[in-house]
Amino acid sequence: MNFGIVRDAVPQLAQGFALTLEITVFGVAGALAVGTLGAAMRISQAAAARAAATAFTEFFRNTPPLVQIYFLAFALPKLPGIGPHLVLPAVVAATLGLVLHQGAINIEILRAGLQAVPEGQREAAAALGLSRNDQLRYVLIPQAARISLPALGNNVISLFKNTTLVSSIGVLDLFGEANDIIAQILVSAELFLTVGVVYVVCVALLGALFRTLEKRLALA
Amino acid sequence: MSSYLVALPALARGLGTTFAIAIASMVLAVGFGFVVGTLRSILPRALDLPLLGAIEFLRGIPLLVLMYFLFFGLPQLGVHTSNNVAAIAALALYAGALGSEIVRGAIVSIPPGQTEAAAALGLRRFAILRLVVIPQALRRMLPPFVALFALIVESSSLAALIDVTDLLQAARQNVERDPGVALPVYLTVLIAYFAVNYPVSVASQRLEKQLA
Amino acid sequence: MPMLELAHVRKSFGQNEVLKDISLSVEPGDVCCIIGPSGSGKSTILRCINRLVQIDAGTIVIDGLSVTDPAVRDVDLRRRVGMVFQQFNLFPHMSALENVTLGPRKVRGLPADEADALGRSLLAKVGLEERAGARPAQLSGGQQQRVAIARALAMEPKVMLFDEATSALDPEITGEVLAVMKQLAVERTTMVCVTHEMGFAREVASNVIFMDAGVVVESAPPAEFFSAPKMERTKSFLSKVL
């Protein structure tokens, strides 16, 4: 194997890595927003909101993100009538696919976290006369967030790894750039290994970050 | 509409391939998982480190990168595989790493009092594992393994990108021939994956509640 | 006029009728102790009083407010009734002082400095002023329960409900919590206590009620209740626990 190839590829790979990070940041933010909104709807008093949120959650977390990306990129534009207005740039379609899939997973994580808060906490908050919103805001959600943190961290790592899927519709993230180079030089093992190691190191760093966060916020 | 109907048999065959890949990978993953997970639960720290390293590597590397490396990269190093084999191998390695964590976690969660009591009766290490710890750990492994199968089915869609004719690839091929069917075809694919994974996911949650 | 009055209260959970026609009344300043076997419905009664549980039939009136009247808001009831739980239920992500001041700040609308002053004085009252900044995880069970009492008192309620307040404590710790409860009784706080502590009931109660299987079996002042119980079931229960 000739790792000189890797050295020559660094500028292009760096560009791709920057895009990977950008997609990750937007993806995580979007997925968190979807997760919070969806979890709030799932515990709402309104049956319609609960039903809609549950349907969304179950559909988008049980279907492959890759297929969701393909649907957004190639099927949406074919919708009768509004289709032509829904032609998304590849990077947008891909990021949106990740946001929907990992967002649905977040909804489930946050809902489970809320349910895991002991019932006695809700009783005590209610017994003090706190309104339902205040119960959630001051007592239930702060505890649910701590309970959910490990799973939320795992989901962030999942999203980061899934950014590689964007290369399948031509987006030049780190993996996309690597494949672009390989298509020209026809040698691949070194680049795949190098790129693989980059992802593994980033995942390890993210993992350490979240474990530190968990320790900082621990209550006991 | 007619081109959609024409596409259906190909999609059905693709679904069959998806199942075949998922099941093959699951079997291998459970096998790896049991061997590595049990081993790790008894190995001393120093010997465990290489295994830990391998597992962290397999969990940290994106599945797509692993699959591409096995299919495109290995031939450069002299190892040639078919795309089906590369897809199954990548899935099996990834899911095997996750499986080993499931097995090890379940074994470690059995209260030490069980091992102490068995040892006090005079049983040796392997016998304790085989007769006392693992039988109890099996129940705790079931829900996460069921969930792992859903993850494998979902991840198998990546095989389409190395040209394995699974459900997604069958869809891609049909849409390439006739872009007009993109909407019904991809919708069908989403629904098909949902139809498989949703029941599995529900089953995993039910098992979790029952065995709690 | 009684501070608290229950009349013909019934409550079922599904097929299970937990309260079968409960009537009792508590005068201002009195301490009513409810004793009985598990499953007799004692804890449910307390939760019906502050509407954590809705009754199926009957009336409950607290300080002139009817619990069954839909025009009476939850918050109006709960400002008049303080509750102390068997499992303490302190908010783990807040300090002792923050636990005590949450109600005054968010429900009674007190400004932060007033709420703080109130909180500190109540923590001093239960003997924990130096632990104001501690989190529940750093406090012993008895200390946590005393903070919980201060938290309930911070709402300045007319009635204090105690749901087996000492049952989750180690025997040598129950004393410190019972001492606080006795002090409240001496100060003429109206209290309803579900308890297993017969010594406490004998010493402090104005009235002892024995409940079994969802009905009030016997109700009498402690001297009479413990020395000359009238009903067979009461005698049988007392012989097992005394």
Report helix angle A47-61 to A90-116, nearest 10. 120
pLDDT tens per residue across span C37-61: 988 889 999 999 999 999 999 999 9
Cβ contacts (< 8 Å) between A199 and chain B: which residues? 60-62, 65
pLDDT tens per residue across span C167-224: 999 988 999 999 999 999 999 999 999 999 999 999 999 999 999 999 999 999 999 9
Quote the pLDDT of residue C220: 93
Q: Do A188 and B68 touch (CB under 8 A)?
A: yes
Measure A68 CA to nearest chain B CA, in Å. 7
Q: What pLDDT band is residue A6 in, cutting at 50, 70 and 90?
A: confident
- When CB atoms are compared, the residue of A126, A138, A220 closest to C137 is A220
List the domain range (segments joined by +) for residue B132.
Answer: 2-211
The SS3 call for residue C20 is strand
Quote the pLDDT of residue A4: 86
Tallying the residues shown for chain B, one arrives at 212
The mean pLDDT of B145-171, rounded to a whole number, is 95
Pairing of strands C65-66, C31-35: unpaired
Instruction: Check: CB of residue A174 under 8 Å from CB of residue A157.
Output: no
Quote the pLDDT of residue A188: 87
CA B179 – CA A76 distance, rounded (Å): 12
Q: Is A158 on the interface with C (CB under 8 A)?
A: no
Instruction: Check: CB of residue C97 under 8 Å from CB of residue C133.
Output: yes
Two structure tokens written together for B66: 């692993």
Measure A214 CA to nearest chain C CA, in Å. 14
B212 has pLDDT over 80: no
CA B152 – CA C194 distance, rounded (Å): 54
Q: What pLDDT band is residue A220 in, cutting at 50, 70 and 90?
A: low
Q: What pLDDT band is residue B121 in, cutting at 50, 70 and 90?
A: confident
Report the mean per-residue pLDDT for chain A.
94
- Residue A202: which of A27, A20, A26, A33 has the closest Cα? A20
**CATH number 1.10.3720.10 given to A22-171:** yes
Q: Do B193 and A68 touch (CB under 8 A)?
A: no
Q: Do B72 and A192 touch (CB under 8 A)?
A: yes
Q: Do chains C and A touch (3 or more CB pairs under 8 A)?
A: yes
The mean pLDDT of A52-78, rounded to a whole number, is 96
Q: How far apart are the first and last CA of chain C?
A: 34
Instruction: Check: CB of residue B115 under 8 Å from CB of residue B134.
Output: no
ipTM of the complex model: 0.91
Q: CA-nearest residue of chain C to A119?
A: C89
Quote the pLDDT of residue B180: 87
CA A190 – CA C204 distance, rounded (Å): 82
Report helix angle B2-42 to B182-210, nearest 10. 30
Q: Do chains C and B touch (3 or more CB pairs under 8 A)?
A: no
Two structure tokens written together for B202: 């529900």
CATH number at residue B36: 1.10.3720.10
Instruction: Check: CB of residue B35 under 8 Å from CB of residue A165.
Output: no
Q: Is B120 on the interface with A (CB under 8 A)?
A: no
pLDDT tens per residue across span B32-80: 999 999 999 989 999 999 999 999 999 999 999 999 999 999 998 889 9
- When CB atoms are compared, the residue of A61, A75, A164 closest to B182 is A75
A17 has pLDDT over 90: yes
| Number of structural domains chain B divides into | 1
Measure B115 CA to nearest chain A CA, in Å. 29
Tallying the residues shown for chain A, one arrives at 220
Q: Tell how far CA B27 is from the center of its chain.
A: 8
The mean pLDDT of C117-124, rounded to a whole number, is 97
Q: Do A146 and C93 touch (CB under 8 A)?
A: yes
Cβ contacts (< 8 Å) between B189 and chain A: which residues? 67, 71
The mean pLDDT of C216-238, rounded to a whole number, is 91
- When CB atoms are compared, the residue of A68, A78, A193 closest to B183 is A78
CA B104 – CA B34 distance, rounded (Å): 8
